[in-house]
Structures are given as structure tokens and as C-alpha cells.
């Protein structure tokens, strides 16, 4: 596709790379809009390090979220609450450095944006400037509209996150489906509020499928579901759940595509057996 056709021109001031190779086109917010118009589904996974990021990028996943779920999936905490901006920034930087096409979403952790729009903006700037994120995600609906507005006016694309919001698990009374019965109006109001405030997409977590379908139909921006049924514009899963690195009880909305834990376990056992039995290293591994 020519520059004229795509509407995107080559970087006018150089990109820091001397490579003459044709650049791979980065996924941008307008691509999501166009995908929604064409009825094409958007794919999103979490990633927290260079190899998973590069692999998911190679697979063509459009959005990589360096989620605050790193708290429980990388740092060993029980919930997403303890993880800090300083812990997430290096993970986000590693992911951003490792992708060619995917849009990297930096996730603002608990306590780093709720105090004021100024606090939210300054934290979001750190993710964009220090880590190279292409946009940020934050949790909350109508009450977060001023933060979303401040960030988008300040040049930072925002993905909102409504329905079940893990950072508020103590106010929400634990992991519960949000938006059942009369609560559906609240989900719809939140979805419209974040769109009005300028969000380019919205994650809906643990929302009844019919409510998520209605939101998706009413909004112009993309909806990304996790436990929100099949009618959202896209889907997201935490990769350790989807590909089986984490074991144990999974949420109903998780589909397991691989058994990475099993593969690693076998490999680690085979290695340990070889070392103990003296067959590794062999002459071919020695100088
Ligand atoms: O942090 C995360 O992984 C998330 C997803 C569950 C959407 O917010």
C-alpha cells in the first residue's frame, strides 16, 4: 500500500534506525476504528517481557497490554493492588522495545491516577516517555472522565476499563460479574462517559454478554471483552492463563490454548536428570 493510500507518511525526521528495510506499519488508534467499521475482531494479550512480546507481535496480535496483572503474574502478589509505577515501567519498556507492529498499552497501577487528573496525566506521561508505551489504560467509568480528558487533550491515547475493575475489588466485594439486571444501565452510562471523555477503546471485564453486546452496538469506539461474551469488538486474555503457564482454578471466561507449564516442567526435569546423570554437558558442549 502506498503512503497516499494508507494516509501515513514516512517519518520526516528519521526514526533512529539506519535500516533501509520497509518499516512494518504500527497499529494505531485509527486502525481500531477502521476495524470496527469493517467488523474485524481486535486481538489483545498481556505481555511483560521481550520474548513473549516479540512472539505475540509476530503472531499478529494487535494490542499488547503490560497489565498491572504483572502484580500477580510476575511479582508474586495475590492481587493487582501492590504493584507500583516503578515496577511496571521497566516491563513496559522491554515490551515496547520488542515489538514492530503491536500497539503497547501501559497500565496505570492502583493509586497512580485516581487522586486527580493532574496525577493521572503525569503518571501517563512517565509510561509514554520513560517506557515507550503507545497509550495507557486506566480503570473506571464516569468518575474517571476528567482523567481521560486530561490525558487525551495532552496527547496520550487512553483505553478505559469498566465492569469488574480489579483495582476496586475491595469496594466491589470481590470478583463478581458487574452489570446484571438494573446495574446494566450503569455499565452503559460508564461506557458512554469514557467515550465522551475521549477514550479510543474500552475494556469490559466480567459483564453479561447481552449488556456487552448492547454497549458494543451503541459505541463508536472499540470494546475489548474479557468475560464479556462474543459480541465485543475484540478480546483480551492474560497470557499465563490462556497458554497454561499458570495452573490451578481458572475463571470461566478463560480458554486454555497450550500447556506451557507442562512443557517447562518436562524440560526442567530432563535438564536436571542430565546434569545429575553426567550426560550434560557432553563433549559437544565443551571447549
Ligand atoms: O492487567 C490486566 O491484565 C488487565 C486485563 C485483565 C484486561 O487489566
Distance 67 CA to ligand 1 centre (A): 5
The mean per-residue pLDDT over the stretch 280-285 comes to 97
Does pLDDT of 1 surpass 90? no
Q: What pLDDT, on a 0 to 100 scale, did the predictor assign at position 275?
A: 98
Residues facing residue 44 across a β-bridge: 63, 236
pLDDT tens per residue across span 111-164:
999 999 999 999 999 999 999 999 999 999 999 999 999 999 999 999 999 999
Q: At a CB cut-off of 8 Å and minimum separation 6, what does 140 contact? A: 114, 147, 160, 161, 162, 165, 168, 190
| Ligand 1 centroid, distance to 124 Cα (angstroms) | 17
Residue among 205, 223, 235, 245 to mutate when testing ligand 1 (max atoms within 8 A of CB): 205
State yes or no: pLDDT of 70 exceeds 70.
yes
- The alpha carbon of 102 and the centre of ligand 1 are apart by a number of angstroms equal to 17
Mutate to test the pocket of ligand 1, among 106, 164, 238 (most ligand atoms within 8 A of CB): 238
The CA R_g of the chain, rounded to the nearest whole Å, is: 21
Q: How many CB atoms lie within 10 A of CB 220?
A: 8
Predicted local confidence at residue 134, as pLDDT:
98
What are 192-223's pLDDT values in tens digits?
A: 999 999 999 999 999 999 999 999 999 999 99
The answer to whether the CB of 160 falls within 8 A of the CB of 194 is yes
Residue predicted with more confidence, 23 or 1 = 23
What are 218-236's pLDDT values in tens digits?
Answer: 999 999 999 999 999 999 9
Q: What is the mean pLDDT of residues 10-27?
A: 64
Q: Kindly state the percentage of the chain with pLDDT values over 70.
A: 92
Which stretch of DSSP H or E encloses residue 138? strand 135-139
Q: Which of 44, 45, 46 to mutate to test the pocket of ligand 1 (most atoms within 8 A of CB)?
A: 46
- Could you tell me the pLDDT band of residue 12, with boundaries at 50, 70 and 90? low
Nearest to 224 by CA among 78, 29, 89, 77: 29
Three-state helix/strand/coil letters over 40-66:
CCEEEEECCCHHHHHHHHHCCCCEEEE
Residues touching ligand 1 (Cβ under 6 Å) are 46, 65, 67-69, 107, 161, 203, 226, 236, 238
In the set 62, 139, 149, 205, the catalytic residue is: 205
Q: Measuring from atom 8 of ligand 1, which residue has the nearest CA?
A: 67
| CA 165–ligand 1 middle distance (angstroms) | 9
For residues 124 and 151, give the distance between their C-alpha atoms in angstroms, rounded to a whole number.
7
pLDDT band at 10, cuts 50/70/90? low
Q: How confident is the model at residue 9 (pLDDT cuts 50, 70, 90)?
A: low
Mean pLDDT for the chain overall:
94
37 DSSP assignment: H
What per-residue confidence (pLDDT) applies to 39?
A: 97
The C-alpha atoms of residue 140 and residue 161 are separated, in whole angstroms, by 6
End-to-end CA distance of the chain: 51
User: pLDDT tens, 74-119?
Assistant: 999 999 999 999 999 999 999 999 999 999 999 999 999 999 999 9
Q: What is the DSSP letter of 140?
A: B
Q: Which helix (H) or strand (E) holds 261?
A: helix 260-277
Q: What is the pTM of this model?
A: 0.93
Q: How remote is the CA of residue 219 from the centroid of ligand 1, in Å?
A: 21
pLDDT confidence band for 265 (50 / 70 / 90): very high
Question: Is 205 an active-site residue?
Answer: yes
Identify the pLDDT of residue 22. 59
Amino acid at each position: 500500500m502506498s503512503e497516499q493510500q494508507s494516509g501515513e507518511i514516512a517519518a520526516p525526521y528519521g526514526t533512529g534506525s539506519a535500516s533501509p528495510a520497509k518499516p512494518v506499519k504500527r497499529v494505531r488508534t485509527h486502525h481500531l476504528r477502521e476495524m470496527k467499521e469493517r467488523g474485524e475482531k481486535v486481538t489483545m494479550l498481556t505481555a511483560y517481557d521481550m520474548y513473549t512480546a516479540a512472539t505475540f507481535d509476530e503472531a499478529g496480535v494487535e494490542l499488547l497490554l503490560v497489565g498491572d496483572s504483572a502484580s500477580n503474574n510476575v511479582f508474586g502478589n495475590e492481587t493487582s493492588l501492590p504493584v507500583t509505577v516503578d515496577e511496571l515501567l521497566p516491563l513496559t519498556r522491554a515490551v515496547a522495545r520488542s515489538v514492530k507492529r503491536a500497539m503497547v498499552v501501559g497500565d496505570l497501577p492502583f493509586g497512580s491516577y485516581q487522586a486527580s487528573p493532574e496525577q493521572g496525566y503525569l503518571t501517563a506521561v512517565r509510561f509514554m516517555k520513560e517506557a515507550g508505551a503507545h497509550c495507557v489504560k486506566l480503570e473506571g467509568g464516569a468518575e474517571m472522565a476528567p482523567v481521560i480528558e486530561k490525558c487525551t487533550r495532552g496527547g496520550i491515547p487512553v483505553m478505559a476499563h469498566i465492569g469488574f475493575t480489579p483495582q476496586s475489588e475491595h469496594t466491589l466485594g470481590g470478583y463478581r460479574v458487574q452489570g446484571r439486571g438494573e446495574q446494566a444501565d450503569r455499565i452503559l452510562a460508564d461506557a458512554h462517559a469514557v467515550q465522551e471523555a475521549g477514550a479510543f477503546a474500552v475494556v469490559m471485564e466480567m459483564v453479561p454478554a447481552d449488556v456487552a453486546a448492547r454497549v458494543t452496538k451503541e459505541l463508536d469506539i472499540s470494546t475489548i471483552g474479557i468475560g464479556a461474551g462474543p459480541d465485543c469488538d475484540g478480546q483480551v486474555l492474560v497470557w499465563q492463563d490462556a497458554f497454561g503457564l499458570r495452573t490451578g482454578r481458572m475463571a470461566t471466561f478463560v480458554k486454555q490454548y497450550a500447556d506451557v507449564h507442562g512443557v517447562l516442567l518436562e524440560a526442567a526435569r530432563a535438564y536436571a536428570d542430565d546434569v545429575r546423570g553426567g550426560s550434560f554437558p557432553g563433549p559437544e558442549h565443551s571447549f
